[in-house]
Amino acid sequence: MLNYRTPSRIIFEIITIILLVLLCVSIVVPFINAMAISLSSSNAVLRGTIGLWPKEFQMDAYKMLAGNYTFLRSFANTVFLTIVNTILVIVVSLAAAYALASKNMLGKKIFFYYILLTMFFSGGLIPTYLLVNGLGLNNTYWALILPGICSVFYIIVFKNVIDQLPQELLESAEMDGASDLLLLFRIVLPLVLPMTMAFTIFSAVAFWNEWFGVMLYIRDKNLWTLQYQLRDILMSAQLSNEMRPGSLKEHLRIVDPQNLKMAALMLTVLPIIVVYPFVQKYFIHGQMVGAVKG
C-alpha cells in the first residue's frame, strides 16, 4: 500500500494549517473586538482599552438604534428587497435556462448568444442610470429590483446543469401530459435544488449588502437599505457637525461614535451569520454539483 504522507506532504499540510489558522484569526479577532466595543461604555471606548471583552457593559447604542425609525425602516427595506430580489432572480434565471435547454424552442442558439453577449459587453453605468431615470423608476423600489433581475451567469450554469439531466425523464413526463411549468417546478427544480440553493445564498448575500444602487437612484430616506444606512452612520461619526434633528447624527452627542458604528455593524452582519450555518450544506452540495460532471 502506497504511503502518501511523505515529508514534503506533511510540511505542506502544516504550512496550510498555519495559514488557515492565521486567516481565521485575522477575521474573528476584529469581529470580536467590534462586538466588545459596541457593548462597552463610552468612557471605556474613549480610553481605548477594549480588547476582546466588553468593559463597563452597556447596550445604549443598540437601544438607540432599536428606537430609531430610520434604522428600523432601512432594516425592513433590506429584508423585503433581499427576499423579493432573490426569488425573482432565481425564478427568472431558472425559467430562462429551462427554455434555452428545451429542444422545442426555436432559435435558442441565437437567444443564448444574445444573452451571452451581455455578459461581456454591458451598457455601462451612465446608460443604465439614464434608462432607470427615463422610465421614472428613480426613488422607487423598482429601481433596486429591475436592474438586477436577470443574471446571465446563473442562466448559463442552470442551462448546463439542465442539459445533463436524463432526457428520458423529461420526455416521459411530457408523454403523460405534463406542461412546461409542471416540468420546471415538479421535475427539474428538485433535480437542480442544490445548485438553486447555492445561487440563492449568493444572491441573498449580494442583495443584503446592496448600497450602490441606493446611492444612485434613491433620495427618500424611507427607501434606504441597511448598508446605506450604515454608510450614513459611519459618515456621521466622522463628520459629526451639521446635526440634523430626527437623524442618528444627533445621538452622537450622547453615545460615542465608535459605539454607534460598531453596534450598527453588528446588527448588519449578524443576520447573515445566523442564517448561514443552516444553509451551508446546500452551499457545499451546490458547489460540488457544479464542479463534478457525470
Same domain, residue pair 27 and 132 = no
In a domain, 231, yes or no: yes
Is residue 275 classed exposed, middle or buried when 0-12, 13-18 and 19+ CB atoms within 10 A define those classes?
middle
Residues 15-43 have pLDDT tens digits of 999 999 999 999 899 889 888 888 888 78
Q: Is the pLDDT of residue 244 over 80?
A: no
Above pLDDT 90, what percent of the chain? 16
In a domain, 55, yes or no: no
CA 265-269-273 angle, to 5 degrees, is 150
What pLDDT is recorded for position 291? 46
What pLDDT is recorded for position 88? 94
Same domain, residue pair 29 and 65 = no
Q: Are 272 and 191 in contact (CB under 8 A)?
A: no
Mean pLDDT score, 49-78: 85
What pLDDT is recorded for position 10? 86
Closest by CA to 225, choosing from 125, 31, 60, 84, is 84
Q: How far is CA 21 from CA 16, 36, 276, in A?
A: 9, 22, 21
Domain that holds residue 264: 60-291
Residues 69-80 have pLDDT tens digits of 888 899 899 999
What pLDDT is recorded for position 283? 61
The gap from C-alpha 14 to its chain's centroid, in whole angstroms, comes to 33
Residues 203-233 have pLDDT tens digits of 888 899 888 889 999 988 889 998 888 888 7
**Count: domains in the chain:** 2
In a domain, 52, yes or no: no
Same domain, residue pair 25 and 104 = no
Same domain, residue pair 84 and 226 = yes
In a domain, 2, yes or no: no
